[in-house]
Amino acid sequence: MGNFLICCLVLTTFCISSAFAGQCTKEDQEYADFWDNYYTPDGAYAYGLKIQQMVKNKDLQGIFSLVKGELTNGPRKKFIENKAFNDVFSNEWVKNVLSTKPSCGPVGWRGFMLGNGTIWYNQSKTGGNIVSINGAEEEIIEKSLVGWTIDKKVVHPSCFNDPWESRELAEMFSVDERQFLKTPGRFMGKPITDFAPIKASWCRDDDECADIQLVEELSQCNLGKFDFEDKDGGVLIEVIDEDGWKYQHKYRILSQFNSDKCSELAPDIGVECKESYLLSVSDYSGGSKGWDTSYGIYGLFDLPNFGNSIVPLIFFGKKNEAFNYLDTKN
């Protein structure tokens, strides 16, 4: 009986290998070599077929079983819980996913795709997972406001700092950097007691370097009335530096956040949160990488010696993770 099972296993493996034989070329293997063979061309092709078969079968739960955690782009798992396949994906979407043959290799560092970027997925020798699904039914969380307005003025994009740019503060105040990058609000007031800008350690005295700061004093960053473009409900500005390089900065309100819950995210800051929002904050400096976007909750605090200031409180790796967090708090 044992020999029979072994024979069946060998035969099955042979049949699968034969089915994909000839689909991937020598060039595909050379490309895998270039990427240090973190995947196999035949395995990548087979995983793409697996996704397409689930799409063909309209297997909504099967598709999302291939998603680890939450999608970077696309519906939340909570959103599709009680929905049918046709509630989430259109016939045109299905046609698009099935219109292209799975690839034997990735699109550079971006990973693997189906349907000209409709589905993006990772694949390796140990397995795979879907990371983005574009073109699905949109989840409406809340009608977006165009800009955060304080005293009848729209807040300037420069008022929203990312702790990644201020991580030297973690070293200065002996704070765990990983926690600081994720939940900077919990360190405001204790042990970070000084919110004033600091000079970067790598900046020499004769260099012109921008100061490092996490908390933005509203009177300093909010430049009064300024021209901006309403970009999909977000505030977009364009800046050209002295060398002629063009940069774009954008933020968008994703949801209002309860001010009492906001205060809990900065328990040692010493004052109450006045208002708070979940934002997406994006920068674009050209190139193929595209927009660099972070998702975080920011609060407005009236800080001693600073006045009204924007304080970053907590950050999320994905927008869907941020919305899941709002569900737990609301």
For 108-136, what is each residue's pLDDT tens digit?
Answer: 999 999 999 999 999 999 999 999 999 99
On whether the CB atoms of residues 119 and 66 are closer than 8 A, the answer is no
Mean pLDDT in residue range 305-316? 94
- Full-model pTM: 0.80
Take residue 26 and report the two structure tokens written for it: 């020598």
List, in sequence order, the alpha helices (H) in 102-176. 168-172
As given in the structure block, the two tokens for residue 75 are 């519906």
Q: Is the pLDDT of residue 13 over 50?
A: no
What pLDDT is stored for residue 229 in this prediction? 86
Q: What is the CA radius of gyration of the chain?
A: 24
pLDDT-based confidence at residue 21 (cuts at 50, 70, 90): low
Q: For position 14, what pLDDT does the model report? A: 40
Percent of the chain with pLDDT over 90: 62
> Can you say how many angstroms the Cα of residue 44 is from the centroid of all Cα atoms in its chain?
24
Q: Where are the alpha helices (DSSP H) in the chain?
A: 2-20, 26-34, 41-56, 60-65, 77-80, 85-88, 91-98, 168-172, 177-182, 218-221, 259-264, 319-329
Parallel, antiparallel or unpaired: strands 234-240 and 292-303: unpaired
pLDDT tens sequence across 191-238: 988 888 877 766 766 556 667 788 999 988 887 778 888 887 889 998
| pLDDT tens, position by position, 30-70 | 999 999 999 999 999 999 999 999 999 999 999 999 999 99
Give CA–CA dist 68/62, Å, rounded.
12
Residue 58's CB is within 10 A of a number of other CB atoms, namely: 14
pLDDT band (50, 70, 90) for residue 7: very low
Tens of pLDDT, residues 250-261? 999 999 999 999
